[in-house]
Each structure stands twice: as C-alpha cells, then as structure tokens.
Amino acid sequence: MVVFYAILNVAGINSQVISLGNGQNVPARRLFLRQLGDQLVRDQLIMRVQLSNLPRTMTSRLRELLPNDQIPPRASSNSAATDAGGRKRCGLCLENKTKRYTKYSCKECGQYLCLQHCAFSGADGCNVGVGNESDSG
C-alpha cells in the first residue's frame, strides 16, 4: 500500500504541475489532490448508486456524497424481471423487515403485496376480505 500511495502522490503532483503549465488557476496542493480524487471516483460512485443489490444504507450514503444533478433516476417498479414472471418483495413486509416475495401488486399504486396484506375486489368492485370467517355459517 505504501508503494501505491507513493505513486498516487507523484501522479497528483505531476497533474498539478501540468495544470499550472496550462495556465489554469490551481488551488493549494491539498485541495487540488482532494478535487482530483473526487473526480477520479465520481464515475464509480454513479455506477454503484445504480446497483439494485447494494444495501440501502450504502446507497443512501452514496446519494449524500453525489450532487443531485449527477444521480441518475431510479428504474421504474415495472422492471423486465417482473414482466417476465418474476417475483418482488411485499412492500408492507419490507417495512417490517420480513422477506415475503409475491407476484401480486396493487392496481392503483403498483406496490407489491403478499396475500397477507392483499384485499381482493370482486368483479363488481366490492372488496372481498382474505380469511374472513364471519361470512361462513
């Protein structure tokens, strides 16, 4: 690691000398190296924000680091995997930190719901409750 940081230091100094030679107004060496490092990792951060399998805490931290104009919009909830018969996690179970996968979604908002959180509607629009024992008898 010492060799890597030594090479990085020399590269930073060389880039500052080149910038000065081009007539650019270059800040102090420490600030210049900080800006250079930010510019070098920005593309990697943008790519990592787009990953769907990254933990939410890491994604939210990356969104804090990147300016809002550089964050790409999220993909819509109707992804190709869902259209091909894939299953997604129930939105309400996700809030309770349980993992229930379902293929059912709300027609109004598109949120995925497991059978425990679903309320079905009949053909005439009436709501049919799931597991309602009061109807039998």
Residue 92 confidence (pLDDT): 80
Contact 100, 116 (CB under 8 A): yes
CB 58 within 8 A of CB 38: no
pTM over 0.75: no
* Nearest by Cα to 102 from 94, 114, 92: 114
List average pLDDT for each run of 10 residues in the chain, which is 137 residues long.
Answer: 85 88 86 84 87 85 80 55 63 78 80 79 55 46
Write out the two tokens for 33. Answer: 């190296």
pLDDT reported for residue 111 = 80
Q: pLDDT value at position 85?
A: 58
- 8 Å CB contact between 89 and 101: yes
With vertex at residue 115, the alpha carbon angle to CA 98 and CA 100, rounded to the nearest 5 degrees, is 25
pLDDT value, residue 99: 81
